[in-house]
Chain A
Amino acid sequence: MTYKSLGDPFNPDQSLLHEKGCSCTQCISENSKACGAQTLATESKPDRERLDTTEDMMDRVIESTIVRGVFAHNDFSRRSFLGLVGGGLTASILGSLIPFDEIKAAVKDSMGKLEKTKLNVGFVPITCATPIIMAHPLGFYSKYGLDVDVIKTAGWAVARDKSLAGEYDASHMLTPMPLAMSLGAGSAPTPYVMPTVENINGQAIVLHVDHKDKRDPKQWKGFKFGVPFEYSMHNFLLRYYVAEHGLDPDKDIQIRVVPPPEMVANLRAGNLDGYLSPDPFNQRAVWEKIGFIHILTKEIWEGHPCCAFACSKEFTNRYPNTYSALLKAIVDATHYSAKAENRIEISAAIAPKNYLNQPEPVIRQVLTGRYADGLGGIQDVPDRIDFDPFPWHSMAVWILTQMKRWGYIKGDLEYNKIAEAVYLASDAGAKMKELGYTPPTETYKNYTIMGKEFDYTKPEQYINSFAIRRM
């Protein structure tokens, strides 16, 4: 296949302009065909190679663009220069000055061929993973040419280990996990990246029905609480919440790590007095009439991040086009999940055994935000859970301050450097733009959490401003 506009830019006999009366082989053959005359057998240097694949075509477009640029888009001077110096020599001179291969790779990154289409993406069965899960039944992965298997995982430690082992190409994770993994907290340090956040809000503090009279956290001394993982927003938010009420989370209460799916069974067995966990297990406890929703986490921090989509740095380097397509599918699915009118359809799509394996009315109450609180009331909170892909660097800084506050990491931290290396705000922003959404212009902002201001420019002062801390 040859394309007229894709002539070899290093061939002096080849016009790239194809003006009227052009003497190149293709134009002549076209003109003669139009006249019905015999094709003229003009001798011409053979084209360097035929452009059989889209890959070759892309390469040629890039070469051509650069060469035209070098000769200031003057086709006459290009052809006379090449006639004097020779096409091959020009190519090698230009090649030594301009990194053709890198430019080609960079251009193709956004539109090139997928290196790998069969992917395994891990998820823990909770509603935070909604975009990752529903992208499968609702066809967001296949829309971008990917054949993804979403694999259910028993808990975060296993999700982390399977990701580190390369069994998962990418995985649903908690926002603090890629930071912890990159820093080597709790595992061997492996560079991990988090191109998008999945959900904001969407967690809750659930207490056992026996504690209906203990709504003031000051009465919680000696309680046993469950959180899904150490490096989780759940752990940091619960610690923050009880500490603001004057309880030391390491001394006055006990915090245990319980994988989300086992929360309800443990609450029923009396192993836990309550938990701060992902849905649907908060609503499931209400459904089973063994717990009630004390508060939603959006009352602690409106718009806090929770779960994320993450993969290894190696995956992004090795399969740039696949990564790009996967990210686009996820950002697209996240925006789709954010729309209230799609939530009922999504509830039905993710409730079956292959995905969350939960009663559909429970999922629907979580996603639509019209729910029974277990205390006799119906609440209407449309943003009980919301979906927003943009990974704010300031969120990472807040998480790092809490990791340091509670002694999970020690020593001096370069907050902004870590945040920017792990949370790929520019990647998410680029995909949002491609899909027609407007990404925020900044990547840092301040937050107000339980009435207390977090200034991202002063992380150390922020940590020191807390009375209860482990440092």
Chain B
Amino acid sequence: MRYRPALRPLIISLVFLFVALGSWEWSSQPPKATEALSEYELLMGGAEQEARVPPPSAVIIHAFNELSDPFYDAGPNDKGIGIQLAYSLYRVLTGFLLAALIAIPCGFVIGMFPVMHKAMNPYVQILKPISPLAWMPLALFIIKDSEASAIFVIFICSIWPMLINTAFGVANVRKDWINVARTHELSDMRTAFTVILPAAAPTILTGMRISIGIAWLVIVAAEMLVGGTGIGYYVWNEWNNLDLTSVIFAIMMIGIVGMMLDLILSSVSRWVAYEE
């Protein structure tokens, strides 16, 4: 066989996957069901009925079952994985878009006027590190609506990276370009839209990518707290039953959806990128 260096990383990662899954499968085989149980043993439940970490084959079978009927609806507390993910995505996108609507214009103003930057910076620095979930009790109390509270939590966690990145991008547009605009006697508004915005767009998009990543991290925790619907509720509901097969499946789905959100934004950022 001809030596092809391009294949080497692929082979290594496949071998790694095989070894990892293989040892997991081997180490987590369920114990054999015991026969001829006494009543006490029956009431205690056999060892094979206990909750434990499932082998990967069980997760794959479970994933296949769930994904072959992702939109079933068996009552308000039992819905398919597709419906749960749709609820979570709806909350994340609503909160994220609301945050973008506010963060990008505000970031623009802060970036363009150093005086605003100095004035607002202390507040941003104080509010930024607050865990979004710490807002939850306050939001539930004031907004009096768990759905809106969850969206608010997404809003508050995704606003800061966008605000800071927009301000940074706008403030660091090369002075030469603004000077050129000035010699052409462009109005302030035109300068903002035709020169500064395109120049700062890649930085703004980076902020948006960070934000949506954080929003997707936070929604799971928020839904575990509030319950009702969403992928976070799904994890919580299966945790109640100590059903780790479903929990691992949900973890994989969260990872896949989060990766897709990031891929979408990164392709948008390639579209606004420019060479100097």
Residue in A166, A265, A355, A358 whose beta carbon sits within 8 Å of that of B77 in the complex = A355
Task: Give bound CA distance, A379 to B144, whole Å.
Answer: 46
Task: Give bound CA distance, A357 to B37, whole Å.
Answer: 25
Contacts of B228 in A (CB 8 A): 151-153
At the interface, yes or no: A165 with Cβ under 8 Å from chain B?
yes
Task: Give bound CA distance, A371 to B50, whole Å.
Answer: 17
Contacts of A289 in B (CB 8 A): 44, 50
Contacts of B49 in A (CB 8 A): 287, 359
Q: Known interface pairs A158-B226, A164-B144. Does A354 touch B75 (Cβ–Cβ under 8 Å)? A: yes
Task: Give bound CA distance, A151 to B229, whole Å.
Answer: 10
Q: Which residues of A contact B (CB under 8 A)?
A: 125, 149-154, 157-158, 161-162, 164-167, 188, 261-262, 264-265, 284, 286-289, 352-355, 357-359, 361-362, 365, 370-372, 374, 376-378
A292 CB to nearest B CB, Å = 11
Contact flags B229-257 to A (C-beta < 8 A → 1, else 0)? 00001001111111000000000000000
Contact flags B144-160 to A (C-beta < 8 A → 1, else 0)? 11100000000000000
At the interface, yes or no: B225 with Cβ under 8 Å from chain A?
yes
Task: Give bound CA distance, A284 to B242, whole Å.
Answer: 10
Residue in A264, A265, A286 whose beta carbon sits within 8 Å of that of B44 in the complex = A286
User: A154–B144 contact, CB under 8 A?
Assistant: no
B231 CB to nearest A CB, Å = 14
Task: Give bound CA distance, A152 to B224, whole Å.
Answer: 12
Majority DSSP secondary structure for residues of A touching B: mixed
Contacts of B258 in A (CB 8 A): none
A277 CB to nearest B CB, Å = 13
Q: Which residues of B contact A (CB under 8 A)?
A: 39-40, 42-45, 49-51, 74-78, 137, 140-141, 144-146, 224-228, 233, 236-242
Task: Give bound CA distance, A72 to B115, whole Å.
Answer: 88
Residue in A165, A353, A378 whose beta carbon sits within 8 Å of that of B39 in the complex = A378
B250 CB to nearest A CB, Å = 14
Task: Give bound CA distance, A70 to B50, whole Å.
Answer: 73
Q: Known interface pairs A165-B145, A365-B43, A374-B44. Does A264 touch B242 (Cβ–Cβ under 8 Å)? A: yes
Contacts of A357 in B (CB 8 A): 237-238, 240-241
Task: Give bound CA distance, A324 to B238, whole Å.
Answer: 35
User: A288–B77 contact, CB under 8 A?
Assistant: no
Contacts of A188 in B (CB 8 A): 141
Residue in A125, A157, A165, A376 whose beta carbon sits within 8 Å of that of B144 in the complex = A165
User: B45–A359 contact, CB under 8 A?
Assistant: yes
Q: Known interface pairs A125-B240, A357-B237, A359-B49. Does A152 touch B44 (Cβ–Cβ under 8 Å)? A: no
Contacts of A377 in B (CB 8 A): 40
A424 CB to nearest B CB, Å = 25
A-B contact pairs, 28 of them (CB 8 A): A149-B75, A151-B76, A151-B77, A152-B77, A152-B228, A152-B237, A153-B227, A154-B226, A158-B227, A161-B140, A164-B144, A188-B141, A261-B236, A262-B239, A262-B240, A265-B239, A265-B242, A287-B45, A288-B242, A352-B78, A354-B74, A354-B76, A354-B77, A357-B240, A358-B240, A361-B43, A361-B45, A374-B44
Task: Give bound CA distance, A152 to B233, whole Å.
Answer: 10
Most central of A154, A165, A188, A376 by chain B CB within 10 Å: A154
Task: Give bound CA distance, A261 to B236, whole Å.
Answer: 9
A123 CB to nearest B CB, Å = 9
Residue in B50, B75, B76, B239 whose beta carbon sits within 8 Å of that of A288 in the complex = B50
Task: Give bound CA distance, A362 to B50, whole Å.
Answer: 12
Query: What are the 5 closest A-B residue pairs judged by CB atoms, nearest first?
Result: A165-B144, A372-B43, A261-B240, A354-B78, A154-B227
Residue of B nearest to A264 (CB): B242
Task: Give bound CA distance, A69 to B140, whole Å.
Answer: 54
B230 CB to nearest A CB, Å = 12
Task: Give bound CA distance, A365 to B49, whole Å.
Answer: 16
Task: Give bound CA distance, A288 to B47, whole Å.
Answer: 9
Q: Known interface pairs A166-B144, A353-B74, A359-B49. Does A261 touch B239 (Cβ–Cβ under 8 Å)? A: yes
User: B227–A288 contact, CB under 8 A?
Assistant: no
Task: Give bound CA distance, A359 to B243, whole Å.
Answer: 11
Q: A288-B242, A353-B77, A370-B43 are in contact. List 19 more A-B contacts (CB 8 A).
A: A152-B77, A152-B227, A154-B225, A154-B226, A161-B140, A161-B146, A164-B144, A167-B146, A265-B239, A284-B242, A287-B45, A288-B51, A352-B78, A354-B76, A357-B238, A357-B240, A357-B241, A358-B241, A372-B40
Residue in B43, B137, B146 whose beta carbon sits within 8 Å of that of A165 in the complex = B146
A1 CB to nearest B CB, Å = 40
Residue of A nearest to B41 (CB): A372
